[in-house]
Amino acid sequence: MNRRPFPWSGFALALIGSLALMISGLDVVMALAVLLLWTGSLWLVATPPPAPERRSSNGSFSRDSMRDLFEHSEAPVVITDRDRVIIANHAARGLLGTHIIGQDVRMALRQPEAVRLIEQGGDGGAIIRGIARRNDIWRINRKSLDDNLSVIEFVNKTAEADIARAHTDFVANASHELRTPLAAIIGYVETLREDPTSLDSSMAERFLGTIHREARRLQDLVSDLMSLSRIEAEKHDLPVQSVDLVALVERAARDAAGNERQDMLDIESAGSFTVRGDPQQLEQLVRNLVDNGFKYGATGKPITIRLIPRGKSRVRLTVSDRGEGIPPEHLPHLTRRFYRTDPGRSRASGGTGLGLAIVKHIVERHRGRLDIESTVGEGTRVIVTLPLEEAVPAEQTDD
């Protein structure tokens, strides 16, 4: 127990006072009684009141307090007494199971890195994999409270690892996509420069046509990368501009078709629809879908575009082609960046592999929903559902 220094100066003053009382004629016994009383009061002042106990005799109060403290923490937390789990909060019970209470924490984790962390004692941390799922990544932090009690916290690092891996994959894919047209351009230019007089005009024209095509492909790729970056940067900003969706769809679809394919568009609307949106991004969405329809649909077959109401709060835009269709195993991956069901055909048609990824991010920014349906041999239908102006966002309403 911590004790304040005894006030010797006060005791000396009490002694002098008692001697003065005896000299003045006070009985010796009475003078000693006064000295003892005065000394006792000084002793009480020097002794602080006892600190409240941290736990009751059976430890229940301390455990209850710690349980209440950690129960609603988002991070899984367990408290061990000599490596046996005595407390596991709600998140920890969801991660490791309710049966861990009373278990040796090393048996509950069953990970070599975690076992080493527990056995070495003291404070520290470790990275472990596969607690709940095979590819999960967790950091375990251990903090000793005293010789017996320890707090073990679990921090989920899976999302960070997934983001880092996605960035690495994106850079690798983008580098590959950029390098391919650049290599073609450089190769044909070097051939032209080696001996331009040896090439006849038809050969030179073919080379120049290839250079021009690859340069346009490179330009489109850079443009799509910049569009995707801009859309992702704005994905948390709700669009506020009122947009006449019918007029916008007709305009964007005809721009995508060009003069030579205007008669292949079959556009129909079941009413007028106004949405809050970014006109530039919505036009890009329609152009990408119509362009995909022409690229992968059957030659000479029309592209069907329909605008119909979806309940009272949403509108559904569908763009359908009559092409070869897409095998079902590819459908979940179509909105991934640079994903192609037929890489050779996609590159030959000028596709960058980013069109549907851009569409997905535009739909997400507008709080909509994107669905892709396809039947092999019949064609593909892309469905975009958007909330109408003043309506509840799509993800907050029932289908």
Same domain assignment for residues 143 and 30:
no
Same domain assignment for residues 329 and 382:
yes
Same domain assignment for residues 257 and 315:
yes
Mapped onto helix, strand or coil, the DSSP state of residue 348 is helix
Higher pLDDT, 160 or 252: 252
Same domain assignment for residues 174 and 144:
no
User: Residue 107 — very low, low, confident or very high, per pLDDT cuts 50/70/90?
Assistant: confident
CB atoms within 10 A of CB 241: 12
The answer as to whether 161 is a domain residue is no
Lowest model confidence (mean pLDDT) among 55-64, 65-74, 202-211, 379-388 = 55-64
Same domain assignment for residues 388 and 253:
yes
Distance of CA 259 to the CA centre of its chain: 43
Same domain assignment for residues 79 and 145:
yes
Predicted local distance difference test score (pLDDT) of residue 220 = 85
Please tell me the distance from the alpha carbon of residue 235 to that of residue 388, in angstroms, as a whole number.
18
What length does the chain have? 399
Same domain assignment for residues 87 and 30:
no
Answer yes or no: are the C-beta atoms of 80 and 149 closer than 8 Å: yes
Alpha helices, DSSP H, located in 71-157: 90-96, 105-109, 112-120
* CATH code where residue 189 lies: 1.10.287.130
The domain boundary residue, chosen from 233, 256, 291: 233
Q: What is the mean pLDDT of residues 383-394?
A: 75
Lowest model confidence (mean pLDDT) among 51-65, 323-337, 366-380 = 51-65
303: exposed, middle or buried (C-beta count within 10 Å: 0-12, 13-18, 19+)?
A: buried
Same domain assignment for residues 322 and 254:
yes
Token output for 371:
């669905």
Cα–Cα distances in Å, from 152 out to 72, 100, 119, 124?
Answer: 15, 13, 13, 10
Closest CA to 221 of 337, 105, 366: 337
User: Residue 275 — very low, low, confident or very high, per pLDDT cuts 50/70/90?
Assistant: very high
Same domain assignment for residues 355 and 381:
yes
Report pTM. 0.58
Same domain assignment for residues 289 and 316:
yes
Range from 13-17, 108-112, 259-263, 355-359 that averages highest in pLDDT: 355-359
Token output for 373:
């349906």
Q: Per-residue pLDDT for 33 more than 70?
A: no
The answer as to whether 53 is a domain residue is no
Cα–Cα distances in Å, from 15 out to 32, 34, 40, 173?
Answer: 9, 9, 13, 92
Amino acid at residue number 217: R
Token output for 333:
């991956």
Predicted local distance difference test score (pLDDT) of residue 27 = 67
Model confidence over 355-385: pLDDT tens digits? Answer: 899 999 999 999 999 999 999 989 999 999 9
- Expressed as residue numbers, the domain containing 295 is 242-396
Q: What is the bridge-based pairing of β-strands 274-276 and 314-320?
A: unpaired
Please tell me the distance from the alpha carbon of residue 18 to that of residue 22, in angstroms, as a whole number.
6
Higher pLDDT, 276 or 35: 276
Closest CA to 153 of 132, 135, 126: 126
